[in-house]
Chain A
């Protein structure tokens, strides 16, 4: 028995690993006589060889798929070993792993076996076993398959902490090209249902600090059925984000789901693939911003496209995954959710793509040097957050200390400010510490010099060499080809 389970685990982990989200945060649950609990901040238990954290047992329920999405390792025409879990088998495995503190919980996604509803019912069965039979109180992230019926979706939401529906591609054009069986309508219907149910249960929290101080759980945020796909996934280049989004008051007599226990307490997320279609960074981030503003999602995840299957319409198998691009997009995503930036600001007067060499906040600051240098001792919290090298923690500390004593330049480092980056953009007690000409090019060059010396990149710097021909060898050595 162990060997069969081992094989299934291999196959279904291999199939699930391209799903990016693995967070276990945003939900807190007391054990209350059951096994396990939720930890608000989430816990990463391990890091795999690719440097990605392992927090949840991330597997597909089955990888037998009737769909044939171009980019997907599980596409129907791909010659690949196939397997399915039994609901009870997976529930027990989760419990045993959880008990040994290997994981925070379960991340359950699936290929589409037979039909979306058939697969979703099996997933639901597994999750209900886990929660009710085994009394599991840890974290569950369930992937919702487009096209699933609202009743099953609702029941999955009652046992899961987080739900996600993959948008897959940043534009409807590439979705039609690469995943012809997935329709935007089928993707947005469950997203809308989740957001509306979260409003009904008064638990919609929104992304980061984007809607701080606003009341989200009101009828005004209730989403109507019309026109979502055009608004979210359209060629959103010039359109003003947030304008004309289809928000409707709840129809009279619609069922309210209050008082039926928690529904997806950690909210919903989604993910999209970067570098498969021809989208620009601006287009990708505009789609994300629309998702945040419309559905108030907790997060959008990005996944650098890794060529796993041969396809005439996708980048070929020698292409290195655009890891650096993915990294810069994530940084920009953080600017949207936590730093009060908008996409149109980030790309105003400066191309369609992010600068690969500098982080998006520095790029933005260099383009808007007229706002700088800012005096640390008088700038507002929002202004402080816009200085490169200052994050919310250091900004809060600065605000706090300012009430008692002026913040001096020497204090900044101790407060957690990245001084070597921030010093070009700030004044401290009226003095500028940048030591250079206050011009975009000069500052840019000194920042670049500093960062090449520091090897800022999160990634193996080998990629450049690998692009030049060693990739084949490396892949062969790793047993991929």
Chain B
């Protein structure tokens, strides 16, 4: 038994699963930076290898199911500590049982993974709900090009799980007319989407990949004010219920929500 340390990538994790079968049984899998050496097992740093990762990837899809593979990937996007070991246990059980694993909701290996998947799914849902775009213009573009052409939708968000890629398709499809950027501030990366296509890349929040800076458009402020006004006036005073509001819209998202003015505490 041995603890495997990996580099934090999905491929790295799959490589560790490979080593579990072909090198030494894994006691657990941990990200390299966060590992605290254990008294019980030795540890080994695993070099990520594409071909080994690909073999595990395909094996999960063929021997368990495509659904299981998607679950594993979603669970990997979670921010919960120990997710790697949960995934390992699920995959090991899956190789023994096969596709039927999807219906064994009460097995701890399955239940724990489903729990992670559910939380990641919820976080993705919250992205669809709470992303707030600002209409931006590329600096200097206003004079030369046609008006409207240089419009960019830009949103900042800090999701707990790494769900940018899961939410990207929804936004890319919905707002295919305008280029858009959804910026995960905590992870310094962003989705860039235009005309239905999208990719994820590193982003500092100021400069576009081609080096131009982006600035708020002229009427952005007034639409934000209109939205805040609407938000205040749609509430029925006699039914005021802050607990219900916060249950649905946890305060940790308020920072980037236009209608609550980026407050961190309700007024």
A contact set with B: CB distance below 8 Å: 2, 5-6, 9-10, 13-14, 16-18, 30-31, 33, 35-37, 39, 43-54, 57-59, 93, 96-97, 99-102, 304, 306, 320-321, 323, 397, 400-401, 403-405, 407-408, 410-411, 414-415, 458-460, 475, 478-480
Cβ-closest chain A residue relative to B249: A47
Cβ-closest chain A residue relative to B153: A99
CB–CB B231/A9 < 8 A: no
Of the candidates B232, B244, B248, the one having the most CB atoms from chain A within 10 angstroms of its own CB is B244
Measured CB to CB, the closest approach of chain B to A135, in angstroms, equals 8
Q: Which single member of A96, A306, A415, A458 contacts B105 (CB below 8 Å)?
A: A415
Give every chain A residue within 8 A of B236 (Cβ-Cβ): 17-18, 50, 52, 306
Which of the segments B18-26, B31-39, B171-179 contacts the partner chain? B171-179
CB–CB A460/B226 < 8 A: no
What separation, in Å, do the CA atoms of A403 and B238 have in the docked complex?
50
CB–CB B173/A37 < 8 A: yes
CB–CB B175/A99 < 8 A: yes
Q: Which single member of A5, A30, A31, A51 contacts B245 (CB below 8 Å)?
A: A51
CB–CB B133/A460 < 8 A: no
What separation, in Å, do the CA atoms of A479 and B239 have in the docked complex?
14
CB–CB B103/A404 < 8 A: yes
A-B contacts, 22 listed (Cβ < 8 Å)? A2-B222, A10-B229, A31-B174, A35-B174, A44-B248, A46-B130, A46-B231, A47-B244, A50-B239, A51-B245, A52-B236, A57-B230, A99-B178, A100-B133, A100-B153, A100-B227, A321-B238, A401-B105, A405-B104, A411-B105, A411-B106, A414-B106
CB–CB A404/B234 < 8 A: no
Give every chain A residue within 8 A of B225 (Cβ-Cβ): 2, 6
Measured CB to CB, the closest approach of chain B to A175, in angstroms, equals 23
Cβ-closest chain B residue relative to A49: B235
Of the candidates A5, A51, A401, A460, the one having the most CB atoms from chain B within 10 angstroms of its own CB is A51
Query: Apart from A54-B234, A97-B223, A401-B104, what are 13 other A-B pairs with CB-CB below 8 Å?
Result: A6-B225, A9-B230, A16-B234, A43-B128, A44-B129, A46-B129, A47-B249, A51-B241, A51-B245, A100-B153, A415-B106, A459-B244, A475-B237
Instruction: Give per-residue flags for B28-71: 1 if the beta carbon is below 8 A from chain A beta carbons, else 0.
Output: 00000000000000000000000000000000000000000000
Is B135 interfacial (CB 8 A cutoff)? yes
Give every chain A residue within 8 A of B233 (Cβ-Cβ): 9-10, 13-14, 17
Give every chain A residue within 8 A of B240 (Cβ-Cβ): 49-50, 460, 478
Is B242 interfacial (CB 8 A cutoff)? yes
Measured CB to CB, the closest approach of chain B to A468, in angstroms, equals 16
What separation, in Å, do the CA atoms of A101 and B180 have in the docked complex?
12
Measured CB to CB, the closest approach of chain A to B74, in angstroms, equals 18
Q: Which single member of A35, A44, A48 contacts B234 (CB below 8 Å)?
A: A48
What separation, in Å, do the CA atoms of A45 and B234 have in the docked complex?
14
Cβ-closest chain A residue relative to B130: A45
Is B259 interfacial (CB 8 A cutoff)? yes
Tell me whether A100 and B223 are in contact in the complex, defined as CB-CB below 8 angstroms, given that A47-B249, A48-B235, A306-B236 are known contacts: yes
Give every chain B residue within 8 A of A478 (Cβ-Cβ): 237, 240
CB–CB B174/A36 < 8 A: yes
Is B134 interfacial (CB 8 A cutoff)? yes
Cβ-closest chain A residue relative to B260: A46
CB–CB B229/A54 < 8 A: no
CB–CB B230/A50 < 8 A: no
Is B116 interfacial (CB 8 A cutoff)? no
What separation, in Å, do the CA atoms of A47 and B230 have in the docked complex?
12
Measured CB to CB, the closest approach of chain B to A107, in angstroms, equals 10
Measured CB to CB, the closest approach of chain B to A215, in angstroms, equals 31
Is B216 interfacial (CB 8 A cutoff)? no
Is B111 interfacial (CB 8 A cutoff)? yes
CB–CB A99/B135 < 8 A: yes
What separation, in Å, do the CA atoms of A30 and B230 have in the docked complex?
28
Of the candidates A47, A323, A404, the one having the most CB atoms from chain B within 10 angstroms of its own CB is A47
CB–CB B239/A46 < 8 A: no
Is B257 interfacial (CB 8 A cutoff)? yes
Measured CB to CB, the closest approach of chain A to B215, in angstroms, equals 16
Cβ-closest chain B residue relative to A34: B177
Tell me whether A50 and B229 are in contact in the complex, defined as CB-CB below 8 angstroms, given that A31-B174, A43-B129, A100-B132 are known contacts: no
Measured CB to CB, the closest approach of chain B to A194, in angstroms, equals 26
What separation, in Å, do the CA atoms of A403 and B235 have in the docked complex?
48
Measured CB to CB, the closest approach of chain B to A57, in angstroms, equals 7
Cβ-closest chain B residue relative to A413: B106
Tell me whether A101 and B155 are in contact in the complex, defined as CB-CB below 8 angstroms, given that A6-B229, A96-B223 are known contacts: yes
Q: Which single member of A31, A101, A405, A415 contacts B131 (CB below 8 Å)?
A: A101
Give every chain B residue within 8 A of A479 (Cβ-Cβ): 237
Measured CB to CB, the closest approach of chain A to B263, in angstroms, equals 12
Is B100 interfacial (CB 8 A cutoff)? yes
What separation, in Å, do the CA atoms of A459 and B245 have in the docked complex?
10
Tell me whether A97 and B227 are in contact in the complex, defined as CB-CB below 8 angstroms, given that A35-B177, A47-B249, A401-B104 are known contacts: yes
What separation, in Å, do the CA atoms of A412 and B260 have in the docked complex?
40
What separation, in Å, do the CA atoms of A403 and B258 have in the docked complex?
50
Give every chain B residue within 8 A of A10 (Cβ-Cβ): 229, 233
Instruction: Give per-residue flags for B193-228: 1 if the beta carbon is below 8 A from chain A beta carbons, else 0.
Output: 000000000000000000000000000001101110
CB–CB B175/A35 < 8 A: yes
Of the candidates B100, B131, B178, B248, the one having the most CB atoms from chain A within 10 angstroms of its own CB is B248
Cβ-closest chain B residue relative to A12: B233
Instruction: Give per-residue flags for B109-144: 1 if the beta carbon is below 8 A from chain A beta carbons, else 0.
Output: 001000000000000000011111111000000000
CB–CB A100/B134 < 8 A: yes
Q: Which single member of B100, B133, B242 contacts A49 (CB below 8 Å)?
A: B242
What separation, in Å, do the CA atoms of A304 and B175 have in the docked complex?
37
Of the candidates A6, A16, A101, the one having the most CB atoms from chain B within 10 angstroms of its own CB is A101
Cβ-closest chain B residue relative to A48: B235
What separation, in Å, do the CA atoms of A405 and B128 have in the docked complex?
38
What separation, in Å, do the CA atoms of A141 and B241 have in the docked complex?
26
Give every chain A residue within 8 A of B170 (Cβ-Cβ): 39
